[in-house]
Amino acid sequence: VEGWKLSLLMSSTIPVFAVLGVYMAKTISTATSDQQAWFAKAGAVAEEVLMAIRTVAAFGGESREIQRFEAQLGKAKRGGIVAGFHMALSMGLMCGVMSAMYSLAFWYGAHHMIASGEASGAEVMVVFFSVFIGVSSLQQIGDPLLAWSKALSSASNMFAVFEDASEIEHVG
């Protein structure tokens, strides 16, 4: 089965998927880390108040502490909404590009390959699904690459600590 023209046409969407994948990973990881930071601040407020609950109650500061806690939660909520928006936007764009790839492939296969006798319908379908599975497999590479980049970042920080001269112990 030869369908290099259809394969090339369908493969032209790979860079678009790559850009959308990078956008999705970057914006969601940033929004999620910001959201976690705000939740940590809200947790710190809650912990502080619970440790001094008698003092807070004695001075009637419950409403003020509730407002402090809710202010931190509000920021975390906004972070979650931003992360959800970016995830929905990138997933919608990916589905749109995928649909455009389907449309383009079937249009080209029907009007140019089958109509000219260059290929049969079965051959067009084989090429379509082969390239589709390949593109889908490439989409799955984002998570391992993200984990790998985080590991490299952590390793560089860890090696910097290992190579740092000890302030306590004199090596001589």
Please report, in tens digits, the pLDDT of each residue of the chain (172 residues total): 578 898 999 888 888 888 888 888 788 777 777 778 888 888 888 898 888 888 888 989 899 988 988 988 888 888 888 888 888 888 898 889 889 988 999 999 999 999 999 999 999 999 999 988 887 787 777 678 767 777 777 777 778 777 877 666 666 5
DSSP assignments along 38-101, one per residue: HHHHHHHHHHHHHHTHHHHHHTT-HHHHHHHHHHHHHHHHHHHHHHHHHHHHHHHHHHHHHHHH
Residue 92: Cβ within 10 Å count: 11
User: What pLDDT, on a 0 to 100 scale, did the predictor assign at position 114?
Assistant: 92
User: What pLDDT, on a 0 to 100 scale, did the predictor assign at position 16?
Assistant: 87
User: What pLDDT, on a 0 to 100 scale, did the predictor assign at position 140?
Assistant: 77
Q: Which two tokens stand for residue 4?
A: 């290099």
Helix (H) or strand (E) holding 163: helix 142-163
